[in-house]
A and B are shown apart, each in its own frame.
Chain A
Amino acid sequence: QQKVQQSPESLTVSEGAMASLNCTFSDGTSDNFRWYRQHSGKGLEVLVSIFSDGEKEEGRFTAHLNRASLHVSLHIREPQPSDSAVYLCAMSNTGNYKYVFGAGTRLKVIA
């Protein structure tokens, strides 16, 4: 079964500085990758979906996927205090419909 490791566990950045989060996965069978955000006590908010190697941008959020190196990252441009949340990467296989989640990175953005 696919295993997902997220790093770092927690990250503090200043408002306006770039925040970078990482996920590595155990095998290259997944073809559907997503980054979600979860504010305290809330559900999941989808940020970016990416299906092929390269880069996908959604507003201030950019995902980079490199399946050969089993790595997907999320970069947050000009983070704001309201971006403070837990960020989760998740992946699935077409036809499997099952998402495997990472443990999350707790991001804190300080003014």
Chain B
Amino acid sequence: GALVYQYPRRTICKSGTSMRMECQAVGFQATSVAWYRQSPQKTFELIALSTVNSAIKYEQNFTQEKFPISHPNLSFSSMTVLNAYLEDRGLYLCGARTGRDTQYFGPGTRLLVL
């Protein structure tokens, strides 16, 4: 079956430091990977969408300088939160998609910033 793994599942970093999270698609080819963030008491916001053979598209309020993303092949993507501060805490979700309607979400990486 199709699965999406994310790691770490939970991490703590000091304010001002950076944290890298990874997303692995198993059992299918992730032609696009979307990264979302759920901040405390909020719903999921799309950070950026990475599609094979296309440039990574960042949503308003999110930048490559802050959230650089790598999508080197059809099964793996990573995103780094650079210079993390309190407002960056939350659950980061990776959604890997193949085809028209098949999107699989990972369990998320929960980031705590001290």
Contact = CB atoms under 8 A, between A and B. Distances in A.
Interface in A33-89: 36, 41-44, 46, 49, 51, 88
Contacts of B100: 32, 94
| Size bracket, chain A contacts | 20 to 34
A49 B95 contact: no
Contacts, number: 49
A49 B46 CA distance: 19
Q: Is the interface of B mostly helix, strand, loop or mixed?
A: strand
Given A43-B91, A97-B51, A99-B46, A51 B105 contact: no
A101 B49 contact: no
A36 B43 CA distance: 12
B68 interface: no
Interface residues of B, number: 23
Contact of B97 (A42, A49, A97): A97
Contacts of B107: 42-43
A48 B69 CA distance: 30
6 contacts: A43-B105, A44-B93, A97-B51, A98-B34, A99-B34, A99-B103
